[in-house]
Structure 1
């Protein structure tokens, strides 16, 4: 028995490779023979071959040969062989050598550079996301996916963390169909000037902790970042995500020295989304059909004006019993703590990250969109000064205007109370930071 490999094919004469009945022809040899138009034939059975001697001529070649795998027809002749089966998949295993003679013709052709990807029009040059934790990662991902920002830069002091996440996100560009450049660095200076800086860095809540428990630790982080961001990017808009959000937004404004219109807190978008999701579940309706805004604080003083809340155009107080609506408001207010309790370690990140990205994109596109945001009031809703969650019209340069909605007296009182409580906590923070 002889095994015929690819080396035997080029030497076949007269367009035929003659093999014995018990010989083996490898799949690659059959494939090469087919490509070169060489017929593999099996010699008919005959008397054993007699080795030739010096005085004796070799025996004549067998008289009858038949194509390999040929099928006899009704008149005794042979039909053409069927197409050869492709090589066994194992021959294409990762790292298996491919004989040059059987390499696909395309592999022997000069490589043609692929055409450059046509980039979507980018309306923003760079957005920097400070903090490559879960919230920062989701924020960066959603911003990059939008494909309207030339570059998204993740910043984290942990060596390699931001760079690793940036590379991982970059690997998804073909899957998700965007061409945003994503970088990961360890400092704001490396990131460079930015149109928008999103601050997510800070300590996350643990079970049993309130947002205010984080105030002293996170104030030091946010204050330093706000000052540095303003120095590097004097025209930037700061979006604060770090908790306790209301106090941290006010602190970032003071530390940065930027106009209040360009220092905004992300809270209302998240709390509104939570309430919409919960109300949708309660009414068996898509969350997108629920219209509601969360105002006040990002905490115990969160206010959802039910007079403005609708489910598919119907007042929510008509769609659900009052007791159930009150329970939904309470659950939305405490959703962050609920998630912390379920996770055991860490806090919510997907919805917060998506909310931060939503606000940046609303500004980047100059959408003039009205979103609930933590902004500095100057007389609106009877609030003389201070940061609080209010309906805000956002534009390219941050806050365009605070929109005044018709609230009931109780709702208006609740929003004013939230502003007062936030101001008291900000005063406490200022005393702490001044003493340290």
Structure 2
């Protein structure tokens, strides 16, 4: 990757926060924003560009007038989509966001044909699968934000309980980015000390429960989903790829036999580098975790089946 150019489709709270975070970090040479709401991307791009004056490394931040302007990007982040409202069924939400994702992805495929795509739109695992099917690209170039965010929420819960340094706390969450996610605090350490040596089994169970509902807790207070956490998690993933750092992060990726599953996208630990998903790390899972993982995978497959039943991929 030479140009270090990142496109962000959807300049709402999450997309804009990701862009602002990247500009402050100085990770990219150029960031280009697009949003269907007139003026939103332009106004935020101007505001961020002015803020980046105080960054150590300057970043060019512009707004795309049309989707076709998201071109020649190394990485494109998709946050576009609608939240579930009123009497909208899960099938309704799936079809609406799948259609939005399809349109966005077709534009990316045409104008940034060498890009890596990060999916953030919900339901995340199914939209990651949709992106793979629409592009036809290699699996390594299609990644969904999942454990990078959920893992940071778990690390927050561990730090809150123990009081020990957050930046020394491991994070590992696998499965879907939803109610069937599987936090694995028993597999992480604080510093060099396994967490199992520091807290009790009941405290471990509490961390798992609070991690699973970490997003809902924010909604309860704000009345809307969080955006600083997702924005920073996206920036972490982008930085790992642009810097080819080979960072181990739990992300949503297409499985092709790993963990015993094929043709489904779900969160597992991966190595992130210049090629995107450089490797999928297969953990040894105990029987209980295998059963939970099966439930999680099947919940994603259920969503994919809804799209197939509605002839979405035809």
Identify the TM-score tier after normalising by the shorter chain: over 0.9
Structure-2 residue corresponding to 1:422: 300
Equivalent position of 1:175 in the other structure: 54
Give the TM-score normalised by structure 1.
0.68
Q: Per-residue displacement from partner, 1:54-107 (whole Å, max 9, x unpaired)?
A: xxxxxxxxxxxxxxxxxxxxxxxxxxxxxxxxxxxxxxxxxxxxxxxxxxxxxx
Q: Note the C-alpha offset of 1:173.
A: 1.9
- Displacement of 1:148 after TM fit? 3.7
Task: Pick from 257, 271, 277 the counterpart of residue 150 of structure 2.
Answer: 271
CA RMSD of aligned residues (A): 2.3
The counterpart of 2:169, out of the listed 262, 280, 290, is: 290
Return the index of the structure with the highest Cα Rg: 1
Is the CA contact 1:268–1:295 (under 8 Å) kept in the aligned structure 2?
Answer: yes
Secondary structure at 1:171 match in 2: helix
2:114 to 223, 235, 255: 235
- 1:135 alignment partner in structure 2: 14
Contact 1:123 1:365 in 2 (8 A): no
Which string of whole-angstrom CA distances, capped at 9 and with x for unpartnered residues, describes residues 106-144 of structure 1?
A: xxxxxxxxxxxxxxxx94331100011010111111222
1:225 to 99, 104, 109: 104
Structure 2 partner of 1:144: 23
Distance 1:158 1:401, change over 3 A: same
Match of 1:311 in 2: 190
Long gaps (5+) in structure 1? 1-121
1:410 aligns with 2:279: no
**Ranges in structure 2 where 5+ consecutive residues have no aligned partner:** none
Q: TM-score, normalised by structure 2?
A: 0.92
Alpha carbons of 1:435 and 1:147: their partners in 2 closer, same or farther (altered >3 Å)? closer
Shift of 1:197: 0.6
Structure (1/2) with the larger helix percentage = 2
Paired positions, count? 314
- Structure with bigger RCO (C-alpha 8 Å, 6+ apart): 2
Q: Is the 8 A contact 1:128 1:153 kept in 2?
A: yes
1:19 corresponding residue in structure 2: none
- The separation in 2 between residues aligned to 1:243 and 1:210, in whole angstroms, is 14
Distance 1:404 1:394 in 2: 15
